[in-house]
Structure 1
Amino acid sequence: MDPGTVLEELAQVAQQIQDQMQDAWQQPVLDGPVLNSMAGGLLQALALFNQSLLADPGRLMQAQAKLWEGYAQLWQHSLAALAGQTPPAGAVADRRFRGTDWQLPAFDLIRQCYLLTGQWLLEQVTGVGDLDPATRRKLTFYTRQFADALSPSNFVATNPEVLRATVESGGQNLLHGLRHMLEDMQRGGGRLDPRMTDPGAFEVGVNIAATPGKVVFQNGLMQLIQYTPVTDQVYRRPLLVVPPWINKFYVMDLQPKNSLVGWWVEQGYTVFMISWVNPGPELAGKSFEDYMIEGPLAALDAIEQACGEREVNAVGYCIGGTLLLSTLAYMAATGDERIKSATTFASLLDFTEPGDLGVFIDEDQISALEGKMAQTGYLDSADMATAFNLLRANDLIWSFFVNNYLLGKDPAPFDLLFWNADATRMPAAMHSFYLRNMYLHNRLREPGGITLAGVPIDLSKIAVPCYFVATVEDHIAPWRSVHAGALLPGGKTRFVLSGSGHIAGIINPPAAHKYQHWTCDSLPTNPEEWRTAAQEHAGSWWPDWKFWLGRRAGGKVMARMPGTGGLPAIEDAPGSYVRMTSHKE
């Protein structure tokens, strides 16, 4: 294709994108109270920050002098490099600048100027001493977003890899990129929704979420999957898994090589998995206690019918773990002893320090969100996805902006990102309760602070042994906050810290030989004391948990086939609820 034709097509696609954007701005979803509330909160935080700077002009002058000194040093290093001298070591390696072209003198100078300026901006926010923690967190978060957006890797003229691709392809990369952008805007109904993976590479129930089993029970909120055993004998106590309903359960059942469900079955467990419905407006009134009653409590009744066993061990992931421990506190108050141990993966019980998600939590933002949910009956999956993606903007936003739109490449197949894009909605009543009682007021940790089904609950009344797993790089459930929650139950508790983050640190099969984990036989109340006393081990934490749970799993019995007990099979796993999509086609 000649350059003139490329330019003509670029102009045509750009006009189509402009038309999509004009239509999008007329949609109320982009002009709602939530964005106004977020903007208002940010402006208020900036005003407080400016007042603090003006109150101490000497500090501002020192900061500016330090910045210019840094620029002068960079300039000297660049001149030395042009003269053939070896410059001193540059900034810490950053995946945005890993290509060899970034080492060329001009682009190295651009890169280092950007990193220096971005670090300087963050230091100004974190270095102000008279800001309250909430304002400081908000300013730090949005300053980081601002700095990430202005990275030279995000622009054609300052990204050497993009410039090289543009020259070599005659601009075809930019044309392909604009076409990708147009497709993403059309799929998102005017909202830019970059593809993170090849959607055609995976199919639920075929090559992902494909561990054999049967749906043996269902109600309006969930289906219960019983997986097919692969051993002749199984542990007597079944394993009930309560996944998050912010995303779908199959993060624990991706492909055979990294399926936690498959690993459980191989260890000899009868696994029952809750698969939550993807709610629409008809479920707007479903509450947190409804999730308890129609979720784990209903599952316990179904498990007894399916295999005749009352006693189970239970696992909860993220908000599923929060629900599991809330349910255990309810059961302790009502004399129900069917759950004999509880394990949580990256779950919060104490929300004193909620991490970067706290930037979205205040009265104004929650009230605005409630107003929006009142119109639809649910929180749209795209809103939730945007919030989580902003927590790792370079990995989950800007890397795809560069790959898909500037380089014009198709995203690579990746099971975890396929799952991440398969988001779910949140019922309005449940989500409002969760945000207010957990995040905003932190009532779950208080004895009697929350009432479920008419029963005030107290986490300290939980007497069963608990196993808490946190991850060291978790931005959603910070490990110190998970540690604080692990101190709340009244039974014997084991706390384990895994390497990596909220997903990769949990879904880490031993055969991968990745990351590390830390264990300690005691549980000091200070997380730093625990970290000092803990012993580091290479690889996955799964074997440690296998030993812990195996001592509580009961003796071996003959394997139980799904659908052959008291509950007949309804359909094959993974069931129909997990196939409910939130995407607009």
Structure 2
Amino acid sequence: MARQPDKTGKNVAKSRAKPVTTAKTRAKPEPEAKAPEVEVAKPAPTTPTVQKLAENIERIETLGHRLMSALADRSPPNRGVEGPGAELYLTAANAFLKTLAEHPAKMIETQVTFWGQTLSNYARAQKAMATGQLTAPEDDSPADRRFANPLWQTHPYFNLIKKQYLTNARALKDATATLDLPDDVSRKRVHWMTAQIIDMMAPTNFLATNPDALEKAVETEGESLVKGLENLVRDVEQHGGEMIVSLADRRAFTVGENIGTAPGTVIYRAPLFELIQYAPTTPKAHTLPLLIFPPWINKFYILDLKPQNSLIRWLVDQGHSLFVVSWKNPDASLSDTGMEDYVEAYLDAMDQVQALTGQARLNAVGYCIAGTTLSLTLALLKQKGDRRVNSATLLTTLTDFSDQGEFTSFLQDDFVGGIDAEVQRHGLLRAQLMSRTMSFLRANDLVWGPAIRSYMMGETPPAFDLLFWNGDSTNLPGRMAMQYLRGLCQKNAFATDGFEMLGHRLHLSDVTVPLCSVACEADHIAPWKDCWRGVAQMGSKDKTFILSQSGHVAGIVNPPTRQKYGHYLSDHGFEGTHQDWMDAATFQQSSWWPTWGAWLAERAGPMVPARDPGTGLDPAPGRYVHERAS
């Protein structure tokens, strides 16, 4: 039956289809009746997201162009420093074939164990998935801070990834452990390379298998990934095309403003160094001045980071007339500067301190490589009959390189040859190469971890003074670098046949001044047992050894106010081994600074009116400290 039109000419059915025609709706006040219509008609809030997506795509495109441009500036690769030479790979391959031929059962057992564990991992994950619940099987893996996210334990996918990675890592370690390698050096190098591969292939280093990075990307609608790309481009641009992750926010610190601020004066400037005298804070000071030689691998302000952890300020407060050398950051014009030039710089600095204070004798401190060079200088002075150094302190100093420890992989001919080629090309051992090499000694802490936080999570590097200093590296003159690597590290000449220097053949036994050596228990750069072994061979009758807790830097920058790391002292002497010394040691739950301070005060002479450095050439920290490696 046909529908009849109403008086307006419209179909009744259409009229009844309108929601506003119901009696209930007509009874409501007009404003309340319109509110739902306005809310329904409002467009979905998708515009900001679309706009943000478009902005991010544009940023990614711009950053991509910058990244390609920065990578194009990278110097031609030097295969000698990119990895081991062909000889190591050949040695490992021969060892594998030999082991396979002589011990096939052992190799088969390793393979069967690996595949058995792999199948077990997959079976456990399949069983968990088959239940229809996102729960992982029971996990008894060892604690590892890389896998702190709960999803590594609770989600079957991520748990499988983690378990299989640990299985692979264990299989690689077991496989290399069974190789019949020709010598201990080859074994250390193969194990080191294996560890580098294992660390590099961790699932946390890849976006698709890093739950923290994926969660952050979802949470920020991809903004974290764009910021990560910005961080990556910044690092590549700052390091001349090299991908070296920034460990600290460079904008957070300015040397001389909020770091390295101890009051002092540059009282002498030479082509290789500036000499800073620090302003006294006590009315009287010890008669004998104190001269500190910091390493020229990094800047001297490691000893003056902040007022509360400044060794420089602490020493001035103890009543010492303090002088500190600030080394120039070398460029190619200093490529022919050698170890003998640094020793002559030591003598020049001593001359200046003696002239300014009117003292015939002084106390000296050398840190790291500067301690090694101070030891060479002391041996030279002994042979020349010069007694100007009253006592010496060596901080984390190696002088006997018979055990190369974690540097074994870097001190073989293939890698040192690569550095030699680098030096021939640039005239320098450049800071970037040095920083990268040192970082891979602790790859998870100094390479992969920071890269994940910066490039995957899009985080700004922390405002951490110690890491800021760590990134403020210096170049090394080419000639000096090769003398150090070939003569001291590889040949171990100072501890064996003697190191040729300025017409003299120098030996450890030539060091005879009263001596205090401070080493650090967890130091991977200058292991304490190796520091101890060098001091044991020195000719000094008055020798003191202090072992601080922690590592190469944190163990030294350990002010008494923090009460964080203690130290060990022993009366055992140097007749036995380092372990004999340690077995007889007592532990002090305090910083080593006051212990050394008491030792130093006994050898610093009576108190006299403090010496004012005057205006000098420039205020501390001087000019050279601001020169950055290019």
Q: Same fold (TM over 0.5)?
A: yes
**Is 1:164 aligned with 2:215?**
yes
Which deviations, in whole Å up to 9, do the C-alpha atoms of 1:437-465 show, x marking residues without a partner? 01111101125x11211111122122212
**Structure 1 residues 84 and 282: alpha-carbon distance in aligned structure 2, compared to 1, 3 A threshold:** closer
Which deviations, in whole Å up to 9, do the C-alpha atoms of 1:157-182 show, x marking residues without a partner? 21111111111111111111112112
Give the superposition deviation at 1:222: 0.7
Q: Contact 1:13 / 1:179 at 8 angstroms: preserved in 2?
A: no
Distance in 1 between residues matched to 2:114 and 2:267, nearest whole Å: 64
**Is 1:440 aligned with 2:490?**
yes
**Structure 1 residues 221 and 43: alpha-carbon distance in aligned structure 2, compared to 1, 3 A threshold:** same
Give the superposition deviation at 1:508: 1.2
- Aligned twin of 1:477: 526
**Structure 1 residues 99 and 511: alpha-carbon distance in aligned structure 2, compared to 1, 3 A threshold:** farther
- Partner-residue secondary structure (3-state), 2:235: helix
Distance in 2 between residues matched to 1:181 and 1:86, nearest whole Å: 37
- Aligned twin of 1:189: 240
**Is 1:215 aligned with 2:266?**
yes
- Aligned twin of 1:51: 97
**Is 1:95 aligned with 2:177?**
no
**Structure 1 residues 512 and 22: alpha-carbon distance in aligned structure 2, compared to 1, 3 A threshold:** closer
Query: In terms of mean alpha carbon deviation, does 516-525 or 483-492 score higher?
Result: 516-525
**Is 1:425 aligned with 2:475?**
yes
RMSD value over aligned CA atoms? 2.5
- Aligned twin of 2:110: 63
Distance in 2 between residues matched to 1:309 and 1:384, nearest whole Å: 39
- Aligned twin of 2:625: 578
Give the superposition deviation at 1:531: 2.1
- Partner-residue secondary structure (3-state), 2:561: helix
Which deviations, in whole Å up to 9, do the C-alpha atoms of 1:300-324 show, x marking residues without a partner? 1101111111211111111000001
Give the superposition deviation at 1:373: 1.2
Q: What amino acid is the match of 2:222? A: G
Which deviations, in whole Å up to 9, do the C-alpha atoms of 1:90-125 show, x marking residues without a partner? 303x33223444332433443343234324423433
Query: In terms of mean alpha carbon deviation, does 423-432 or 129-138 score higher?
Result: 129-138
**Is 1:154 aligned with 2:201?**
no
- Aligned twin of 2:304: 253
Query: In terms of mean alpha carbon deviation, does 206-215 or 135-144 score higher?
Result: 135-144
**Is 1:284 aligned with 2:330?**
no
- Partner-residue secondary structure (3-state), 2:402: coil
Q: Contact 1:351 / 1:439 at 8 angstroms: preserved in 2?
A: yes
- Which one has the largest radius of gyration? 2
**Structure 1 residues 232 and 119: alpha-carbon distance in aligned structure 2, compared to 1, 3 A threshold:** farther
- Aligned twin of 2:560: 510
- Could you tell me which of 77, 95, 98 is aligned with 1:31? 77
**Is 1:297 aligned with 2:343?**
no
- Could you tell me which of 602, 608, 623 is aligned with 1:551? 602
Give the superposition deviation at 1:217: 1.2
Distance in 1 between residues matched to 2:373 and 2:95, nearest whole Å: 38
Q: Contact 2:520 / 2:550 at 8 angstroms: preserved in 1?
A: yes
Give the superposition deviation at 1:72: 6.5
Distance in 2 between residues matched to 1:326 and 1:284, nearest whole Å: 21
Q: What amino acid is the match of 1:538? A: Q
Q: What amino acid is the match of 2:568? A: W
- Aligned twin of 1:453: 502
Give the superposition deviation at 1:479: 1.7
- Could you tell me which of 431, 446, 450 is aligned with 1:400? 450
**Structure 1 residues 115 and 329: alpha-carbon distance in aligned structure 2, compared to 1, 3 A threshold:** same
Give the superposition deviation at 1:36: 6.5
**Structure 1 residues 73 and 540: alpha-carbon distance in aligned structure 2, compared to 1, 3 A threshold:** farther
Give the superposition deviation at 1:293: 0.5
Give the superposition deviation at 1:64: 2.9
- Partner-residue secondary structure (3-state), 1:38: coil
**Structure 1 residues 554 and 176: alpha-carbon distance in aligned structure 2, compared to 1, 3 A threshold:** same
Q: What amino acid is the match of 1:462? A: V
Q: What amino acid is the match of 2:274? A: Q
**Structure 1 residues 302 and 114: alpha-carbon distance in aligned structure 2, compared to 1, 3 A threshold:** same
Distance in 1 between residues matched to 2:82 and 2:152, nearest whole Å: 39
Uncovered stretches (5+) of structure 2, i.e. residues with no partner: 1-48
Give the superposition deviation at 1:225: 0.7
Which deviations, in whole Å up to 9, do the C-alpha atoms of 1:100-159 show, x marking residues without a partner? 443324334433432343244234334435341221222122211111111111111211
- Partner-residue secondary structure (3-state), 2:455: helix
- Aligned twin of 1:498: 548
Structure 1 segment 202-241 matched on structure 2, within 5 A: 202-241=253-292
What TM-score comes out, normalization by structure 1 length?
0.92
**Structure 1 residues 265 and 73: alpha-carbon distance in aligned structure 2, compared to 1, 3 A threshold:** farther
**Is 1:344 aligned with 2:344?**
no
Give the superposition deviation at 1:371: 2.7
Q: Contact 1:312 / 1:338 at 8 angstroms: preserved in 2?
A: yes
How many residue pairs align between the two structures? Answer: 573
**Structure 1 residues 277 and 528: alpha-carbon distance in aligned structure 2, compared to 1, 3 A threshold:** same
- Aligned twin of 1:415: 465
Distance in 1 between residues matched to 2:535 and 2:170, nearest whole Å: 35
**Structure 1 residues 317 and 123: alpha-carbon distance in aligned structure 2, compared to 1, 3 A threshold:** farther
Distance in 1 between residues matched to 2:67 and 2:338, nearest whole Å: 41
Distance in 1 between residues matched to 2:98 and 2:314, nearest whole Å: 54
Distance in 2 between residues matched to 1:338 and 1:69, nearest whole Å: 70
